[in-house]
Amino acid sequence: MFVIHREPHNPLLAPQRDRPWEAYATFNPSVIREEGGWRMYYRALSNPAAIASLITAQSTIGEAYSEDGIHFHSQKQLIVPQEEWESFGCEDPRATVFEGATYLSYTALGGYPFSKDNIKVAIAVAKDGINFTERHLATPFNAKAFALFPGRVNGKVAALLSVHTDEPPTEICLVLADKVEDFWSPAFWNTWHADWQSHKLDLKRGGNDHVEVGSPPILTDKGWLIFYSYIEDYFSGGDRVFSVEAALLDHNDPKKIISRTESLLVPEEIYERYGTVPEIVFPTSATLGDNDRIDLWYGAADTVCAKASVRLPDLLRALDPAQPARTFIRASENPIISPKGTGFESRDVFNAASIDIDGTVYILYRAMDAANTSTVGLATSKDGITIDERLPEPIYVPRADFELKHGSPTGNSGCEDPRIVRIGDTLHMTYTAYDGVRAPAGAVSSISVNDFVARKFDRWSTPFLLTPDGIDDKDLSLLPEKIGGNYLLYHRISSKVCADLLPNLGSGKRVNRCVEIIGPRHGMWDGLKVGTAAPPIKVGDNWLMIYHGVSRHATYRLGVILLGPDGVSIIARSADPVFEPVEKYEKEGEIPNVVFSCGAIMRDDQIFMYYGGADRVIGVAVASLSHILKALQ
């Protein structure tokens, strides 16, 4: 797993009203780390009233400098239109130091209205690394985002290029040349372009999607690492979704993709969602930072420059095909519980809660019979994996009117998806109560630890609803400690994880607020909805929460967030899922492509997570807590 941390000082560069050439926007930065500092090249958009033009504003390329990689200063206008082929603007620089010189590629706008015939790539050269004394028109065809590799590939000069960006099909392609001067040779490009599709990297998932080169490649011991822009439904006229993805390319054949991520950054912050063009994150550079960190530089909402970081070892591990899939590793014994018999668990067993009491793991699972009535079954395990005992009857059954079947005789009803926590000497079980007619609601019932261990299950307290009437409110989970004398309850309303405080659980008082903890990240693996999984686990003063996320393709996966001592403030959230459907018993069942957890226990450094596979069976997966915390912190 890996985590994307946005720089707290974002945005790092913003438009300046007193400089007309960058009064409207400053974005899409390309950064070179030098001895003593960071040099940033960026697209500057003028105030429309400041420069006479046939168009509303004009793009030039600015330069700024920073000693700490955060506070940039000394802005100056660096590249301005001089040639006919760039007379309407210079956009989106990518800078690479190659064999002692700095090469700055940019998009050259040679006509208006802008079209595929006047948008091409140009390259400026600073042989001393500072002064750009020459510039060249590169591509004679429609292209953008030329990113030069910082070193040769099998003796060749290499670059990535976005071809035909203004008409489908758009592709990211590899270009190899004998010498760097070939990149401004019309004869070279005419030969290359005649067979341009043979050079493409296979990065697109749909014909209407758009990909564009982001950062110049970074050489790692695993391959060439690139970040690029991925835009879903760009050419369809639908809901365009801008995101950032990463890929690892083969050392010797960069056209070969070793592995790739899904979307790892989407617009979420205010400076990414609102601006000149809202809802955009656009990667243009990546640099090696301190402490095994990669800094990703990007434009936000076509208005400001921003930065995010990720630990390089974590990202490379996620991109390594030889590594186990995701962070949690399945037990070879899976599934550890399957449906059986003709009684209460004959149809499905899934979505298990868990609690460790005196060295025994108690697994409380949702069981469904032939009439689709849900009850709670119980199994125990000493080692957390091997089932030592499985009770022949449910330990909790529907009792209240709000969970008894009132709909179809074979429709869903009952007590669903339990979560359990211990606070003091009491166990509190939250679950979804459903009568088959009214909206699902969250309920709670409690029992003393002694009665539970003694299996006096008739002593479960009278269940109370904790959520309002008429609202689809599910995935209830309690923080295992009180906050200021109150219970902290997590619940899901619509697509978001909410929290609320309750003074007690047995008075019938219900939650009446939704303090949002996390919501979906549109365009990512958890872009449709999110909900709590297991109750949070105490780690030092903080809390680790496993949550489930659903993609727009209806795949259920699991991620993690680190919460502060208050149980609501977010310290970090995983960018990629830590667990996803892979095995047949997770991909085929009552509901396909589902892993759904309601319980986890800790033993030393190991987290044992119990989950339902395809709403049919129960499995367990194990992860290292220290590995997860290292990424999150």
**pLDDT tens digit sequence for 546-576:** 999 999 889 999 999 999 999 999 999 999 9
- Residue 105: band (very low, low, confident or very high) from pLDDT cuts 50, 70, 90: very high
- Residue 170: band (very low, low, confident or very high) from pLDDT cuts 50, 70, 90: confident
Domain boundaries, the chain: 201-321, 329-632
For β-strands 413-423 and 90-98, DSSP reports them as unpaired
Which architecture characterizes domain 329-632 according to CATH? 5 Propeller (2.115)
Beta strands in 269-412 (DSSP E): 281-288, 293-300, 304-311, 329-330, 348-357, 360-368, 373-381, 389-390
Superfamily, domain 201-321: Glycosyl hydrolase domain; family 43 (2.115.10.20)
Residue 505 has pLDDT above 50, yes or no: yes
CB 417 within 8 A of CB 475: yes
Q: What is the DSSP letter of 439?
A: P
Is the sign of the CA dihedral 517, 523, 529, 535 positive or negative? Answer: negative
Instruction: Give the pTM.
Output: 0.93
- Residue 324: band (very low, low, confident or very high) from pLDDT cuts 50, 70, 90: low
Q: What pLDDT is recorded for position 264? A: 96
Burial class (CB in 10 A: 0-12, 13-18, 19+), 74: exposed
Distance between CA atoms of residues 71 and 440, nearest Å: 51
Higher-pLDDT residue of 238 and 504 is 504
* Residue of 324, 370, 332, 377 whose CA lies nearest to 350: 377
Distance between CA atoms of residues 248 and 223, nearest Å: 6
Residues 259-268: what's their mean pLDDT? 96
Strand, coil or helix: 260 = strand
Residues 438-461: what's their mean pLDDT? 97
Q: What pLDDT is recorded for position 55? A: 54
Question: What does the radius of gyration of the chain's CA atoms come to, in whole angstroms?
Answer: 28
Which residues are 573's β-sheet partners?
561
Residues 254-281: what's their mean pLDDT? 96
Q: What pLDDT is recorded for position 168? A: 74
pLDDT digits (tens, 9 = 90+) for 6-59: 999 999 999 999 999 999 999 999 999 999 999 999 999 998 754 445 556 789
pLDDT digits (tens, 9 = 90+) for 362-401: 999 999 999 999 999 999 999 999 999 999 999 999 999 9
The residue with tokens 């330069």 is 63
Q: How far apart are the first and last CA of the chain?
A: 12
Distance between CA atoms of residues 6 and 295, nearest Å: 10
Domains 201-321 and 329-632 agree in fold: yes
Q: What pLDDT is recorded for position 114? A: 87
For β-strands 426-434 and 570-573, DSSP reports them as unpaired
Q: What pLDDT is recorded for position 291? A: 87
Q: What pLDDT is recorded for position 325? A: 61
Q: What pLDDT is recorded for position 506? A: 81
* Residue of 537, 229, 175 whose CA lies nearest to 356: 537
Residues 427-433: what's their mean pLDDT? 98
Residues 600-618: what's their mean pLDDT? 98
Question: Can you give the length of the chain in residues?
Answer: 633
Distance between CA atoms of residues 423 and 428, nearest Å: 8
- Residue 323: band (very low, low, confident or very high) from pLDDT cuts 50, 70, 90: confident
